[in-house]
């Protein structure tokens, strides 16, 4: 290595002998020693295993540390800057380069110190990776939970939705088919309350009035047989029509005297008599005595005069003699108009009404619906010629249906022993129990018991069960059974009570 010419040295212009004269306690540092020391340091730094990964991780830092010119130059400057004991301090020239190379080593060391945090930041990467893995696992679990929840909801809800769709398919046909036939007539007309039949008498003819009634009758024909349907006839303004006006428009040709005994209030009944539509009329009366005398005169032409009530059905018999019967102690006058006996004129007079029906069952059903008073008036004469011009003791229908009464009458026609029937008035203050005993002297014997009377008096009466005019449903003292028959064919304590009641000496 060359030394600058301007610097003074103990080795210039001298011989080697001067060196030997130097005392032995002094040590000399040569450039060769410095170079060897630097080479050892470089060798040691390259042999360290810990520094090699740092240089590989940060090549930019090692490139600044390694240059050879930078290392050799400061060593020369450092050697020249140290004081030499053999030189005169006053004559030593100042070095032109005042920069010291040692700070470069310090920079290298600082660079190494700065490399340590860089390695530490590299150690933080596994923590970031673990955090990302945890977040990813949480997201996967959340998606899985939501998917499982949705699958469970689908499993639990889908069967119910299937049932809801299936049920209407099964039930709808049954629920729709049934009301189509039955419901409309039931909703259109009430069997328990009066219905209104609008007829505009100012514009309708007799034929059109009959057609209006027939239209309502056809609706009721589709219904099962039950109580008659009551109708109040009204005009176009829904005002009730008076019976005399209706009778004139419908050509019910009653005699003027008979018509004068009838009031304005009336009801029209439509009844399904075993598939045959029949009509009935109930009209208020203001004079029972005059009505009772006038009706026998009306019987001669009753069939033709009341033709509207047959709804276009032509009777087989137009004229004949009316017979007398009874139902629930009502005196009935009737004339059968065909061989089947399901078309007829039956009528009865109560203490307040005239009731006319076009069959036996129709009149009976109408009387049951009206539940009339406890007395009825016998019209005309009985079968044995006894006059019938006075009121008879009667009992109103019981609470039982008309079919039970008809069944008992059927048992009476064959005189079936053990058959029972109970008659009572409206307030049940008078109650009789009838029991068929059997055939006695070609008659059907029936035992009567006064249920609510003192000591329950009894009597036995003999009936001609082959005579259609005799009925077991009425009290034997009624007009359809003559007083002679009552005296000879009835016996017992109850008979004496009935005789006193007829004479007015006692009452039930």
Model confidence band, residue 384 (pLDDT cutoffs 50, 70, 90): very low
pLDDT at residue 233 in the model: 92
- Percent pLDDT > 70 in the chain is 59
**How does pLDDT run across 264-316, given as a tens digit for each residue?**
999 999 998 888 899 999 999 888 888 888 898 899 899 999 988 998 888 88
Which region, left, alpha or beta, applies to residue 319 given φ > 0 means left and ψ of -120 to 50 means alpha? Answer: beta
231-267: b or e for each residue (b if 16 or more CB lie within 10 Å)? bebeeeeeeebebbebbebbebbbeeebbebbbeebb
Distance CA 292, CA 8 (A): 183
**How does pLDDT run across 399-443, given as a tens digit for each residue?**
333 346 777 888 888 888 888 888 765 556 678 888 888 888 888
pLDDT at residue 173 in the model: 52
Q: Given a cut of 90, is residue 358 above it in pLDDT?
A: yes
Model confidence band, residue 138 (pLDDT cutoffs 50, 70, 90): very high
Model confidence band, residue 25 (pLDDT cutoffs 50, 70, 90): low
**How does pLDDT run across 432-485, given as a tens digit for each residue?**
888 888 888 888 889 888 887 888 888 888 888 888 777 777 666 543 345 667
Strand blocks (E) in 304-381: 323-327, 330-336, 344-350, 353-357, 375-377
What is the average pLDDT value for the chain, to the nearest integer?
71
- CB of 279 closer than 8 Å to CB of 238: no
Over range 70-76, report the average pLDDT: 45
Model confidence band, residue 354 (pLDDT cutoffs 50, 70, 90): very high
448-461: b or e for each residue (b if 16 or more CB lie within 10 Å)? bbbeebeeebbbbb
pLDDT at residue 222 in the model: 77
pLDDT at residue 140 in the model: 92
pLDDT at residue 268 in the model: 94
pLDDT at residue 347 in the model: 93
Pick from 120-134, 200-214, 368-382, 448-462: least confident: 368-382
Distance CA 356, CA 271 (A): 13
- Residue boundaries of the structural domains of the chain: 1-7+33-38+49-123, 133-178, 189-360, 381-508
Higher pLDDT, 215 or 469: 215
Element at 172 (helix H, strand E): helix 125-188
pLDDT at residue 275 in the model: 82
Model confidence band, residue 45 (pLDDT cutoffs 50, 70, 90): low
- Percent pLDDT > 90 in the chain is 13
Q: Given a cut of 60, is residue 63 above it in pLDDT?
A: no
- The answer to whether the predicted template modeling score (pTM) of the entire model surpasses 0.85 is no
């Amino acid at each position: 290595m060359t030394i600058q010419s301007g610097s003074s040295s103990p080795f210039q212009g001298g011989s080697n002998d001067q060196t030997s004269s130097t005392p032995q306690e002094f040590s000399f540092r040569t450039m060769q020693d410095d170079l060897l020391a630097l080479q050892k340091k470089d060798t040691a730094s390259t042999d360290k295993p810990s520094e090699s990964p740092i240089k590989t991780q940060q090549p930019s830092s090692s490139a600044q540390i390694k240059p050879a010119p930078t290392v050799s130059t400061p060593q020369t400057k450092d050697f020249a800057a140290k004081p030499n004991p053999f030189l005169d301090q006053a004559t030593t020239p100042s070095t032109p380069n005042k920069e010291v190379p040692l700070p470069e080593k310090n920079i290298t060391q600082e660079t190494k110190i700065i490399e340590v945090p860089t390695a530490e930041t590299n150690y933080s990467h596994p923590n970031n990776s673990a955090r990302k893995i945890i977040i990813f696992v949480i997201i996967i679990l959340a998606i899985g939970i939501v998917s499982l929840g949705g699958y469970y909801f689908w499993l639990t809800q889908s069967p119910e939705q299937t049932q809801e769709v299936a049920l209407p398919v099964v039930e709808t046909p049954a629920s729709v088919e049934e009301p189509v036939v039955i419901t409309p007539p039931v909703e259109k007309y009430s069997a328990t309350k009066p219905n209104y039949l609008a007829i505009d008498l100012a514009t309708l003819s007799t034929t059109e009035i009959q057609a209006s009634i027939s239209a309502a009758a056809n609706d009721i024909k589709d219904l099962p047989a039950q109580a008659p349907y009551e109708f109040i006839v009204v005009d176009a303004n829904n005002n009730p029509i008076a019976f005399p006006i209706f009778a004139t428009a419908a050509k019910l040709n009653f005699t003027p005297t008979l018509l004068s005994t009838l009031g304005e209030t009336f009801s029209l009944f439509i009844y399904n008599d075993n598939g045959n539509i029949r009509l009935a009329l109930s009209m208020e009366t203001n004079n029972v005595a005059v009505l009772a005398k006038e009706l026998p005169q009306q019987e001669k032409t009753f069939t033709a005069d009341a033709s509207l009530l047959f709804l276009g059905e032509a009777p087989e018999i137009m004229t004949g003699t009316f017979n007398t019967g009874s139902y629930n102690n009502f005196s009935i006058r009737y004339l059968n108009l065909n061989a089947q006996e399901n078309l007829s004129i039956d009528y009865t007079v109560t203490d307040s009404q005239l009731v006319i029906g076009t069959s036996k069952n129709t009149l009976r059903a109408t009387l049951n619906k009206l539940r009339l008073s406890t007395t009825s008036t016998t019209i005309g004469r009985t079968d044995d010629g006894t006059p019938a011009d006075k009121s008879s003791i009667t009992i109103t229908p019981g609470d039982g249906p008309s079919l039970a009464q008809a069944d008992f009458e059927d048992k009476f026609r064959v005189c079936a022993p053990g058959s029972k029937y109970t008659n009572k008035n409206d307030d049940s203050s008078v109650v009789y129990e009838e029991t068929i005993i059997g055939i006695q002297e070609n008659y059907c014997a029936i035992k009567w018991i006064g249920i609510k009377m003192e000591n329950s008096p009894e009597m036995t009466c003999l009936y001609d069960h082959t005579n259609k005019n005799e009925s077991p449903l009425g009290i034997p003292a009624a007009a359809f059974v003559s007083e002679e028959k009552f005296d000879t064919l009835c016996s017992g304590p109850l008979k004496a009570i009935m005789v006193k009641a007829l004479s007015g000496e006692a009452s039930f």
